[in-house]
Structures are given as C-alpha cells and as structure tokens.
C-alpha cells in the first residue's frame, strides 16, 4: 500500500486541482496510470515549459504510461495562431525542443510515447466523432470551455468553437485514463466530462497544474520576446531578462522566481541535493535549502535578498539550458529553427508578418488631461479639446461627446487617448488623436474611459502581455492596424478595459483602465 501512496504522491504533488480522484485511487490499486499531456505547436517553447516537464518526470517516476501530444491541428484551429504552411516545421521544432528538455532533466525518452494530432485526427472515425460531438455540444458551452485557452476575439471563427470538443475526443483516441494540463484548461476538462459520456465514451481523470507566474513578471508569452526566456537564450540574455523580473522583497504570492524554484528546481533535485544561495560573508554567507518550504519562509522573512535568489535561479536555468543548446548546435536543427520561426524582417507580406503587424504594442495610447474645451463652431455634436499628453504643446483633438458629457465635466478631465492615428480634418478642424470611449449603439451610449489611478499626462497605456516594443509613430492607414485591433477592444463584466481579455494598464504603475458603468461595451 505504501508503494501506491508513494505513486499517488508523485502524481499529485504541486498540482492545484484533481477531477476524479476516486477513479485515480481505484486505477492505482490495479495498475499504473495512462496519462497524456498535449501542447499546441504555436510559439517557440520557453523555460516555463519546464513546469509541465517536471510533472512528466514525476509521472514517469510513478510508473505512468505517458503520451505527449503535439497538437498541430489544434494550433491551426486556435484562430490560426500557426499558419498551415509552417505547422509541419513548428511541430518538428516542438518535438526536438521537448525531447531536448526532457533529456536535460534526465527523463528517459524510451518511456514516453510521442504522437502528432494529425496522425489520427484526420481519420474517418475521428472526423465522424467530431460531427457527433458538434451535434450535442452547444455554442455556449463551446465558447465557455475555450474562454481561457482559445484566442478570444469579437467575432470568433467556428474553428475556435471546435477546439474544446476535439481536445475532449483526444482522451478517447489516445486511450488514456487521465489528461494533464494547466488549471486554465479546467473548463475544457469539465466539458469533456459532460460530453464524452453522451458519445458513449468514459469520463477521464483531470490533473491540473497551477498557473505559474512568468519569470519576467506577469504571464510568459511565446509571442513577446522580452517576456520569456527562450530555450536557446545565452547566459547573457538570461541574466538580462532575469534582471527585469518582478521579485519584490518578502513577496511570496506573486513571484515567478520563487514559483520556478517550487515547480521545477526542487522537484528535479535528488534527495541528497540542496538549493544553494551563494552570497558574500558580510551578507550572511552561503545558505542551503533541502526543501522549498524552508526557502519560501526565509524569503518571506527577507532573510534572502531578491538579487541573491535571482542569481541562484539564473545558475539553475543555465544548467538546464546548456544540454538543450548543445543539442541545437546540430546544423539541421539550426536550419529548422530558422524555417519554423522566420525573423519578421524576412517575412514581408506573409501571414507571420501580418500577425506581427496587428499586435497592440503598435498603438500609442496615453493618459491625457483636457486643459481647454469648446463647442465646434460648425458641428453641434463635436467638442474641440486641447489635451495635455506630456508633450511640449497640448494637442487639438475633436470628439463627438457633446450629447453624452456636459461641457463642464469635460474641463480638467483625465482621459485615455489614442495618439498615433493619422491626423484627420473634422469639419475643418484638424484632430490629432482620439479620446477612447466605451460605446454602444442601441440605445446610443458613450462614456470616456477612466485614466488609471495615480497617473499623469503622457503615461503610456499598454495591454498586459504586450508591454514591450515601441508603438508606430503614425499608424499606416493602408495596413488598417487600428481597424484590425479595435474589434477586440471592449470593457468586461468588471468594468475593466481589455483587449482579447487582457487588461489595459498604465506602463508606469500597472493600474488598470476602467469605465464608470458600461459593461461588455466596444471601445472606440
């Protein structure tokens, strides 16, 4: 019985939630668990992938039969994050990178099964089951299930609605007892539990990792270069990126550096090993920790300085990356990397460049203060505003707010302004920007967005996950950047301004942009 308990401990440690624990217990009494983990082959894998990799190591130590699914078809269905012509190359890259990561942490590859989604997802049987699934699942449940995983847009493609049902079917076609993923997949897992039995298939166990903060603060994004540490980053780049990492003294609740030690470094340590903090004698000398709880307690008490913790994690990351980078010295893998992820500058006019073109980092959104306002002499519905945007001179901006905001409430008002639209004449007056508002047509309501707390004129407003990069000087009207981004700008149920679910925040202090009362309204 102790052996079963030990296996269960390895399978479940550091997880946030388990659905179907009773079934897990029953299977372990009879045999080893069959489990799969899938990854959509989109952006390049980065160091955050070591979090699921360390759990896969746990599963193998517990004797589980583990299948890794390279979900190439899912990657295409998720709002075409990966263009079809690059999918085969990216899937090859993922397979090489994941195998190199597993080798780096000492996981024997012969114990694993690697499968590509298109190996079975294009079969007659699977296709018929997709149709069967689509005949019982509601669009409401499909949207809800994919809300935290599938890219959210104002007018979703049907492909994104299919995505959760296909992931549910994968459990049956891979013949597993359990699926492992992040807690962001929970709604897809509950959809699988609801709908698979309706097709005559069994419920599976679902094992969920917590969402671990990115090392560089916030969420690690494969599409944002400075927000993640790439597997092929050299030690100098690792150091540079970790320097920017949010690691507040004593903060143990929102700390990507600490989370990485908990979910990767400690689970991979041998029982005789210890995590070493190296520091000068005048700063307390070296310290060793054999379990995460002691390290966390010491950091909470501020016995460990963030700089010393970062230095130790930096060393650990470079140790993990070194074997991967050695494998990727192979000229064939170097060529594969270039082809699968071509630099944007060399892909002018293709799909990859179009994706880069429409990121919200292109928008120059700033806090402004209205210092002077008057009615437009030739248009009853328009105000002419002089707005301080932190520049040498205030800008003239024309806004159609006369029927929605009294003029006395416009004076000295803090607003949120899109500054890099091409200037346009509004009834003879040149307008050099746009005051962003929540707006609905029926009945017609317009409400200027609220500037973040503790902000001042000129403070940049960015979208979470898209903080890096400089906006265009002027948005090119021919490329319709604003027209492509605007449909995904809205307010949410909590009155926050969001783009594809990611909050608009001050780049200076991180405080959010909100609206007074308008929920789920387009921003324009």
Contact 175, 94 (CB under 8 A): no
Per-residue model confidence as pLDDT tens digits over 99-155: 999 999 988 888 899 999 999 999 999 999 999 999 999 888 888 887 766 655 556
Paired strand residues for 178: 35, 205
pLDDT of res. 284: 83
Which strands sit side by side in the sheet containing 65-71, from one edge to the other? 17-19, 205-209, 178-182, 34-40, 65-71, 112-116
The angle subtended at Cα 91 by Cα 58 and Cα 501, nearest 5°, is 80
pLDDT of res. 226: 52
pTM for the model stands at 0.64
pLDDT of res. 352: 41
Contact 484, 457 (CB under 8 A): no
- List of the chain residues with pLDDT < 70: 1-2, 78-83, 148-156, 215-227, 344-358
Residue 481, number of CB atoms within 10 A of its CB: 21
pLDDT of res. 1: 44
pLDDT of res. 435: 95
Tokens encoding 244: 């920017």
pLDDT of res. 216: 57
Q: Which residues contact 29 (CB under 8 A, 6 or more apart)?
A: 4
pLDDT of res. 448: 95
The beta-strand segments (E) located in 427-501 are 429-431, 434-435, 437-440, 445-448, 460-463, 489-491, 497-499
């Amino acid at each position: 019985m102790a052996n079963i308990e030990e296996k269960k401990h390895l399978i479940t440690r550091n997880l946030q939630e388990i659905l179907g624990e009773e079934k897990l217990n029953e299977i372990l009494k009879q045999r080893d668990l069959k489990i799969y983990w899938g990854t959509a082959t989109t952006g390049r894998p980065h160091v955050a992938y070591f979090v699921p990799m360390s759990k896969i190591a746990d599963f193998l130590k517990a004797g589980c039969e583990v299948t890794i699914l390279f979900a190439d078809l899912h990657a295409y269905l998720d709002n075409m994050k990966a263009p079809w012509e690059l999918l085969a190359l990216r899937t090859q890259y993922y397979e090489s990178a994941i195998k190199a990561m597993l080798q780096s942490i000492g996981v024997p590859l012969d114990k694993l099964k690697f499968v590509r989604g298109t190996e079975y997802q294009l079969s007659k049987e699977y296709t018929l089951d997709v149709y069967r699934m689509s005949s019982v699942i509601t669009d409401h449940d499909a949207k809800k299930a994919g809300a935290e995983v599938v890219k959210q847009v104002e007018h979703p493609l049907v492909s994104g609605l299919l995505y959760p049902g296909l992931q549910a079917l994968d459990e049956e076609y891979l013949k597993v007892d359990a699926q492992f993923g992040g807690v962001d997949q929970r709604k897809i897992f509950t959809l699988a539990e609801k709908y698979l039995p309706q097709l005559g298939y069994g419920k599976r166990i679902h094992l969920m990792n917590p969402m671990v903060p990115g090392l560089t603060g916030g969420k690690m994004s494969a599409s944002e270069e400075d927000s993640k540490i790439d597997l092929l980053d050299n030690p100098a780049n690792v150091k540079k990126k970790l320097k920017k990492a949010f690691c507040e003294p004593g903060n143990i609740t929102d700390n990507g550096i600490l989370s990485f030690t908990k979910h990767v470094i400690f689970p991979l340590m041998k029982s005789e090993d210890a995590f070493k903090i190296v520091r000068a004698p005048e700063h307390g000398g070296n310290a060793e920790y054999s379990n995460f709880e002691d390290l966390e307690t010491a950091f909470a008490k501020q016995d460990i300085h963030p700089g010393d913790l970062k230095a130790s994690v930096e060393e650990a990351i470079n140790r993990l990356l070194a074997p991967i980078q050695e494998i990727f010295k192979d000229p064939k893998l170097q060529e594969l990397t270039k082809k699968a992820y071509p630099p944007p500058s060399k892909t002018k006019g293709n799909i990859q460049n179009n994706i880069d073109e429409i990121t919200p980092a292109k928008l120059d959104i700033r806090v402004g203060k209205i210092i002077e306002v008057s009615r437009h002499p030739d248009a009853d519905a328009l105000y002419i505003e002089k707005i301080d945007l932190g520049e040498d001179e205030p800008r003239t901006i024309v806004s159609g707010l006369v029927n929605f905001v009294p003029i006395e409430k416009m004076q000295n008002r803090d607003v949120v302004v899109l500054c890099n639209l091409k200037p346009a004449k509004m009834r003879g007056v040149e307008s050099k920007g746009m005051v962003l508002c929540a707006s609905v047509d029926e009945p017609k309501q317009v409400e200027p967005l609220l500037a973040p707390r503790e902000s001042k004129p000129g403070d940049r407003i960015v979208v979470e996950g898209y903080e890096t990069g400089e906006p265009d000087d002027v948005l090119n009207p021919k490329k319709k950047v604003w027209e492509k981004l605007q449909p995904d700008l809205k307010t949410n149920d909590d009155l926050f301004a969001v783009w594809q679910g990611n909050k608009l925040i001050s780049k200076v202090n991180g405080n959010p942009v909100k609206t007074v009362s308008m929920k789920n309204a387009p921003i324009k």
